[in-house]
Structure 1
């Protein structure tokens, strides 16, 4: 299997409308979570990472009519445009568009506005984005719960190795819509405080919304250092529609298969970007899978206390942050962590630090028992 190289990228989130702004906010320990009021859905206020509509429309007005696009589409277009602006000579006829999302324009169920009913379809989101920029190939839609964004990278790598694509822009995007909020609230999974991944006093999830985009290619870039995806695997633990495996089986198998494909052992991993939703069962499941994989001493963080859980966007934007962490040899703290609250030992990053990194592992898990592991490598000339 050939490596998939991670090239230019962009993140649109409450922390900023560029990757640079997002990285700096994380470096400074800032969070995009703010208290939200939804009295028709939940009795108590709850933290969530919501992108300000006014700021989004102001940014979008520079090159598009805000009335013709949904909030999700505007977020995606902003991210993709930043990537294309850095690659003026990119041939869109030979570049695929891969869009990863769990719910797409699900907010139109409640407030359809003047948009046609078919705008709810995930395939229609792909068409809207492709037509805006002039992509000629049919967009590829990836929708597999909360591993979708990371899975988009794996799909790009595998399609590239099969000779079906040359370059691709992978996008991950989702909204913290009323539909999503009410769903998690029905599970009694929403925390009324900022989330605390892997901590003893964690009591639930915070939700968020974001869009990320990244240009990927099987062709090695002409740079002194670059990051590539060298191993990927996905496994379903078939445990429960919403509850993770109690033994971490699906995530464990994903990690083992990804490491095998990358031809490295767990001891080589310098950093681990976990899913870390701060729910009781998810964090426990991850700790078991990491322990079984021999990763209990590997420096680890979750970014959920910065962004909230951005669903289908999370795996991609967290991979983008991982890419820049590796290039900068910079480990970011796992925000809000206190005392360890899982059954297996973990090496949670508790302060920003510099560390030379060659290999990193990104994991994600989601409803329906899906699990994903991605192995990244830093290569130098």
Structure 2
């Protein structure tokens, strides 16, 4: 077992699965459809595409923080406010200068920038209150620190789709070094035309519902999400404390956008996470796959999973529930793992067209089964071969 687990004291999220615990569980069990919809208006070519939306009313940014007012930061608040009582308790215990904020994002406030640019082009001036600072990548982290009056280390990580997975590794380093006593980790990405059209130009976007590990898969559906956790090295009072047991990263730099075809970096990240956790492949009860439903990713990841785990560990991609939430993918899928462990949920079924690609390496996709071992691994693989694998478990 890891000699330095990080205990998860609280978790809040908002995605296409919803934000209430019950509705998230209903989606994960297959009893409720997530808010994945085919919409027009996002792509420059005028075609419709499937997006995952965080529906429902979002909290308002307080008036004294009006210069931080973006949809992205409203989505930050929607998840963050769910764990605010635990954060306030940590402030009382440790002091605000002993708490860090680490956020993963790839879009920040770009969607508001797109609206502002459109208004400037049509009316000759940016709208009142708009500032370029709203779309800087560090904006969500700085906003959280201002909102919560946190004075510890505050920064953002932007490594594309591994961004909010890497926050855990950074948190572990800060806590292990004794720089802080608690860390708020998380990530938020909101839908914007830039990323949707970018992935469409790479021919990685599916205009139908994504089909991970199916022979008929055509690409990703993009979603938006926000999730935050409070971590510390101090065990909480609980019969079933849930912790980050291990983390492993790699950067194989195979290609700017395509993964290494043999999964070199993915294998390295998973093996490093197992070593960091002091576990063996047989100790893992579930793999939350990166599972984007692109031809290249699923081929690479199935090879990597088979190389490390063989056919013995159940695997599924939960992106049909959330869409690929890019910079927020790591944390929203970490939150799914947290829900599975905390509430002893059945493993999320692999949602696709009911087919498994025979050309892929042999892996065991989830059908109907419970979690039989109290440790799970979650993978996030990004552009440039920037990979992160996280192991969560009950101690």
TM-score, normalised relative to structure 2:
0.89
Aligned equivalents of 1:142, 1:118: Cα separation in 2: 16
Aligned in 2, Cα 1:62/1:254: closer, same or farther, shift over 3 Å?
A: closer
1:99 and 2:116 matched: no
Report the counterpart of residue 309 of structure 2 in structure 1. Answer: 294
1:16-55 mapped onto 2 (5 Å cutoff) = 16-27=18-29, 28-38=31-41, 41-52=44-55, 55=56
Report the counterpart of residue 144 of structure 1 in structure 2. Answer: 159
Contact map agreement 1:84 1:90 (CA 8 A) in 2: no
Stretches of structure 1 lacking an aligned partner (at least 5 in a row): none
Report the counterpart of residue 13 of structure 1 in structure 2. Answer: 15
1:1-381 mapped onto 2 (5 Å cutoff) = 1-27=3-29, 28-38=31-41, 41-52=44-55, 55-56=56-57, 59-61=58-60, 69-91=69-91, 92-112=96-116, 113=127, 114-329=129-344, 330-341=346-357, 342-351=359-368, 353-379=369-395
CA apart distance, 1:235: 0.5
Aligned in 2, Cα 1:355/1:137: closer, same or farther, shift over 3 Å?
A: closer
Stretches of structure 2 lacking an aligned partner (at least 5 in a row): 117-126
CA apart distance, 1:302: 0.7
Secondary structure of the 1:365 match is strand
CA apart distance, 1:355: 3.0
Aligned equivalents of 2:42, 2:242: Cα separation in 1: 45
CA RMSD of aligned residues (A): 2.0
TM-score, normalised relative to structure 1:
0.93
Deviation per residue, 1:272-325 (Å, 9 max, x gap): 111100000001110010111124221111111011000111111111111121
Contact map agreement 2:183 2:232 (CA 8 A) in 1: yes
Secondary structure of the 1:354 match is coil
Aligned equivalents of 1:40, 1:5: Cα separation in 2: 41
CA apart distance, 1:66: 10
CA apart distance, 1:18: 3.4
Aligned in 2, Cα 1:125/1:376: closer, same or farther, shift over 3 Å?
A: closer
